[in-house]
Amino acid sequence: MQNLIKTFRIQLEITPMDFFRSFHETINWENRLIGLLGPKGVGKSTLLLQHIRKTHPLDETLYVQADDFYFTTHRLFDLAYDFFALGGKYLYIDEIHKYKNWSTEIKQIYDQLPLLHVVYSGSSLLDLEKGGADLSRRTREYKMPGLSFREYLNLSLGWNLKPASLDEVLAGKVNFPYKEYRPLKYFKTYMKSGFYPFFGEPDYLPKLKRVVMTTVEEDIPRYAEMSISSREQLKKLMYVLAQSVPYKPNYSELERDLGIPRNSLPDYIAYLEKARLLSALRENTSGNGILRKIDKIYLDNPNMAFALSDTEPDIGNLRETLFIAWLKDLYPLTASPISDFEIDGRTFEVGGKKKGKKQIETASEGYIVKDDIEYAYQNIIPLWMFGFVY
C-alpha cells in the first residue's frame, strides 16, 4: 500500500487547481458510493484529484488507479479493508473498468465497510446492472460530458462566465463580455479543437484519434467480451460511420458493404453510442431511450470529425453535431418531423447565417439556430449561445 500512497501524493502535487469544471458542483459528494462515468479525455481523473485536494485530509484519503500493477496480486476489497483499518475514510478508484469483476468487490466494500466513502470513475460504457453485482440501488451515478463552449472560454482565457438555461439562451441572455471580445473568433477554434480539456496540447487531434481508437480496439471489446473478428468489424464500422455522418441507418447496406451480420449491427452502434463516440438522434415517438428508432447517426462531437475524417468535414454536419453534443444530456432532444430537432415541442432548424425560416413556418414554437452571427434577434439564435447551457 505504501507505493500506492506515494503515487497518489505525487499525482496530487501536480494537479492544477486554477480551473474547476462546473460539473464538480453537480455532484453530491456526501453520497457514500459515487460513480463518475465518461469517455476518455474529459477530465475525470483531474476532477477527482482536485476534489480530494480541496476537501479531504490526506491521512484519511487514498486515490488509486485500478490498472495499477498492485492489483495483479491484490484484491480491491482487501485494499479497502486494510485502508479502513488504518483510519481511512475516503477511497477513490480511477479506471475501475480495467479491474475484472469490479462491481462484485465494490458491492462488498459498500456492504461490509459502511463507514467508508467510495468514489470510482470509469468508462461511460459501464453498466451498473451488468456484471457480478447490481449496483443500481447503491450507487449515485454521474456522467461527465466534454467541455461546453462556456467552459472552454473560462479555461483558455481565465474568465468566469456563468451558464444559462435553455430559456435564457432562447431569449439571447448569455453572459459574454463582448466589447473587444468577439464570440465567433473563439467559437471556430472550439469547434475544431476545444471539446476536451487537453485542447492546449500541440498534438491535440492525433491524441484525440488515439483516444477513439483505444476505445474501439480495447474498451468496447473488453466490455462486450468480443472476439478478434468482432473487434475488427467494430473498427471497420466506426471508420465508415466517421466518413459518412450524418448517417441514416441502413443495416442491409452496412451488412453488404462491410460484411457485418445484420443482427450484430444494432449492438455495435449501441456500444459506440454508449462509449460516447457516436450520437444517435431518435425519432420523436413513444418508447424509452435507446429502443426508439434512430433517425440519424452523428459523431459525438465536431472535434472527432477533424480527427477522424479523411476529408474536410462538412460545416452543416459540424453545426448539427455540436447542437446535439451540448443538449442531448440535458433535454429530451429528438428529430423533428418538419425540421432538424425538437425539444419539448420546440422546433430548431440549424444552419448558416443565410438560413431562412421556411422549415419552421408550421411550428407552434420554432427557432432558427445560425452559425456565424453574434447576437440573438426574435427567434433567431446564434449557435454558439447554446454552448452556455452547462
Q: Coil, strand, or helix at residue 329?
A: coil
CA dihedral sign of residues 164, 166, 168, 173: positive
Mean pLDDT over 265-269 rounds to 96
Are 135 and 181 contained in the same domain? no
Range of the domain at 309: 149-388
- Residue 138, domain CATH: 3.40.50.300
Q: Amino acid letter at 48?
A: L
269-274-280-282 Cα dihedral, nearest 10 degrees? 110
* Domain finish residue from 143, 160, 184: 143
The rounded mean pLDDT for the chain is: 95
Phi, psi of 280 (to 5 degrees): -100, 115
User: What is the model's pLDDT at position 289?
Assistant: 54
Are 185 and 250 contained in the same domain? yes
* Domain finish residue from 143, 158, 173: 143
* Domain finish residue from 100, 122, 143: 143
Are 236 and 346 contained in the same domain? yes
Cell numbers given for 21:
469544471
Kindly calculate the radius of gyration of the chain based on its CA atoms and give it in whole angstroms: 22
Are 175 and 278 contained in the same domain? yes
Question: For the segment 317-356, what is each residue's pLDDT rounded down to a tens digit?
Answer: 999 999 999 999 999 999 999 999 999 999 999 999 999 9
For the whole prediction, is pTM greater than 0.85? Answer: yes
User: What is the model's pLDDT at position 292?
Assistant: 72
The counts of H helices and E strands in the chain are 14, 12
Are 336 and 211 contained in the same domain? yes
Question: For the segment 56-112, what is each residue's pLDDT rounded down to a tens digit?
Answer: 999 999 999 999 999 999 999 999 999 999 999 999 999 999 998 899 999 999 999
Vertex 295, ends 289 and 298: CA angle to 5°?
90
Are 165 and 212 contained in the same domain? yes
Question: For the segment 4-48, what is each residue's pLDDT rounded down to a tens digit?
Answer: 999 999 999 999 999 999 999 999 999 999 999 999 999 999 999
Q: How many domains does the chain have?
A: 2
Question: For the segment 288-328, what is each residue's pLDDT rounded down to a tens digit?
Answer: 555 579 999 999 999 999 999 999 999 999 999 999 999 99
